[in-house]
Amino acid sequence: MKPTTDPNNFKFSEDIQVRWTDLDPLAHVNNSIYIQYFEIARGRYMLEASPSWDWHKNMFLLANINCSYLQELKIGMHNTKCWVRTKEMGKKSFVLEYMITTDDKTVHTVGTSIQVMFDTKNKTTIEIPDWLRKELMAYEKEGSIEIK
């Protein structure tokens, strides 16, 4: 699965503020912090891409998350953004793709996460609800989501 490194393939981005506490002794963003940036952007993405989403009723679990570090990210770099898009849709899970850039052109990090829909009451995985599938498909660029 080759990651996307073109911001034109993404509709959604979230501004990221790199904090002093995000840095490691080499003065660049610590590896673990990128996953936090993905998490912040994922939450905002879900609220925008799926207007019906209710975090108290609808839940997914992260089955996998990965991050490839391409170029260091430092505090003070201009226009730091985390881009998010739905890349794949299965029966019970969907794949989100991430990219962190500065100035909308320098790609620092790419990654993906697999979300599995989960019924918290019965403690079982469930199929992606039709309303969620439709909202994500409608939000993204036509034909950009691979159906599995």
Dihedral of CA atoms 117, 31, 49, 114 in degrees, nearest 10, equals: -30
Class for the domain spanning 7-140: alpha beta
**Phi, psi dihedral angles at 40 (to 5 degrees):** -60, -50
Name, in order, each residue with C-beta under 8 angstroms of 86's C-beta and a sequence gap of 6 or more.
Answer: 49, 94, 95, 96, 97, 136, 139, 140, 145
Question: Which pLDDT tens digit goes with each residue over 78-95?
Answer: 999 999 999 999 999 999
Model-level pTM?
0.94
Question: Which pLDDT tens digit goes with each residue over 36-90?
Answer: 999 999 999 999 999 999 888 889 999 999 999 999 999 999 999 999 999 999 9
Q: Residue type at 30?
A: N
Q: Where are the alpha helices (DSSP H) in the chain?
A: 31-49, 130-139
